[in-house]
Structure 1
Amino acid sequence: MSTSPPPPSAEPTAGPSVRIGALVPLTRPGWIEAGRHLLAGLRLGVREVNDAGGIAGRPIELVVRDTAADPRRAVAAVDELARQGVAALAGEYHSVVARAAAARADALGLPFLCSSAVLDALTDRPTERVARLAPAQSYGWRIYADFLVGAGHSRIAVAADPSVYWASGTRILRDHLAPRGGTLIELDAGTLAPTALCDALVDHHATALLLLVGHPEPAVSIVRAVRRDRRVARTLIGAPAGQPEFTQWATLLGDEAAAIPFLRYLPERLGPLGARVETALRERLAEAPSFVAHEGYDTVAVLADVLRSHGTDRASVAESWPRVAVEGTRGQIRFSREPGIGVWQWTWPPVQVVDRDPAEPGRFRVLHTG
């Protein structure tokens, strides 16, 4: 995809549209803000492709379905979109939802480019039909563990809700920290009130607490409790899943939102394409775009290249993943097969550990890069 804006003289699109199904969490209990950013990126990408002439003169039509973080709803949406004749599926933020959608898409022979979900086991078995832009959880969360060790933390507590995603993250952290002298202490956020979590931090002499819990609750209540308890006020609070990325976090927590490191999938400096898209996304969202918005745009960049180069039938799209070489907003995108990951994977998107600057909570500080 070009690093310059589409030429104003591009031929208008004509003929039947090429339909792409988009799975996005837009209502609760889904993470609505993440869904809004993902959809903004997808729609910007589609607009630019169509302004540049579409796919051999045919416009892309984005057919959006709200998953609301519900795997069953996502599966029903995949069935509906398959019947409507979409050439491919795109999107989804929540890992457990994306996993359900990927399994159904694979069974139906429908190619799926997952934008944002990171769970390693996106499918139970290897498939040629599914590809992913977000880094696998095992890759990004190991980088986060390296950051913790480098910052001098060896006794690390996790407050975790029950879920496949959080359990996977806990296992990755434990396995990576143990050889480096780190101890992981598991605390059940489902049974311990925030004040009891503070007591446990004292009892275990933990110097860091990682929030592997839902947003806004119980994450916000836990942050407030830790920040206001003098015994543990100096404890590092971390959120590897990225809750502090979005403005709602800062709105709810105010000054207490700062200095909570999280994973963000952006380079330290955007290139010309990334900078241009960043500006366009900021105008659409009326706020700073998150890395999730970039993932949405890059999803369309890849699909448009595939549809132009290999055709719009589903089999051709699914066969094209190993031949992708597309300039995205965060670097060149290529897919490969990685051990333990059953889908075609971009190896690797840039990974940062960042936090909100206490002196200026609207600004992010880069603490560590992978």
Structure 2
Amino acid sequence: MSVYLIQHITNNKTIIDLAITFYTKLKKTYNKKCINCWVDYKKNSVFYLIKAVDKEFIKQLYRNTSQIAPYKISLVNSHLVYELLKSKQQVKNLQLKSVNNTKKHLIALVTQTLNEKLYRNKFNQADFFEAFLYKKTIIQNLIHSYDGIQVNIKEEGFVALFTSSKKALDCSISIQNKLNKKGSKISSKLLLYSYFDSDKDKMTSDKISNLVNSLHFLNPKKQLIFSSSIQNLYNNNYTNINLTNNIKWLYPEEEAFLFSLIDVLSKNYHNSKFNIPSICKLMMMCKTKLYRNCKITTGKSINQILKEFRLLKSLNSLAQNTTNINQTSIDMGFSSSSYFSNCFKKQFGISPNQLLKQQLNFIY
């Protein structure tokens, strides 16, 4: 049986998580055949050694279970295997993952009121302020009562940090219970996301923005979205949970794929030449696998996601009165202003021109 070197090279760090997750699965199934795995975060690369009868066997493993494809599969001799195993290029071995346990976990609670700016068109001004003020008050008070620290306030939502996973989860469940009991006219989603309190993993504005954006593309019937890392932290401490039907647990593969996709869209949506083949190239996936992953994770096609992402960005831009409709359509990557207006009205039930006119009459 031969030894092969599998390489994953990407310009997106979240793709690394997918490669590591895939290797971990292989390790469980083919323990003795998987020799070692290395991760280089600086070069955004992952590579590992595996014993196999031929390349086709490895390709079939990816086709059957993985959301990604390897950059390269190379046959290596025993001398190179030895050099790799002793090499100082071994930046981070998965077996040393336990070192992370010494780091301090922080839990980010992110909420977003879906299409909140459009509610101004559904309710009169008094009703809107009553609904929005109620939601804002409930969330702020509960965050404070569960020892959370509010770090960001936007009209689109709230962001708070917790040092206790149980308090973060209790807070998110309490928020939804309060809002649902009151019958709030402005529905919300909540996402809990865990990360390590280190310089590398600090919650940046870009990461917060991506987390907020990801909420739009997840199951609309689920109000509570919990990341896989939350589940791992929480299972041992909190088993009496009766909101199963209202909770979406993100599997590691789904989470890594979704956040990677949102990151790619965030950096490229404004380019009118940015399309599905561009996404495939940046995410190192074939079109079939990209479509399948989008459907599994969001229930939507990649075409829908790209269009809706651009429309969401245009909604924020128009709501801030920063540009006119023609300029907005260009900035959002649409081929023409007429096509943009048609898509906007179909998505939100109101034309961009009507939205701008109504905003002029809305007193903040």
Please, what TM-score do these two structures have when normalized by structure 1? Answer: 0.24
Higher helix share: 2
Q: Which has the larger radius of gyration?
A: 2
Q: Which has the higher contact order (CA 8 A, sep 6+)?
A: 1
Please, what TM-score do these two structures have when normalized by structure 2? Answer: 0.25
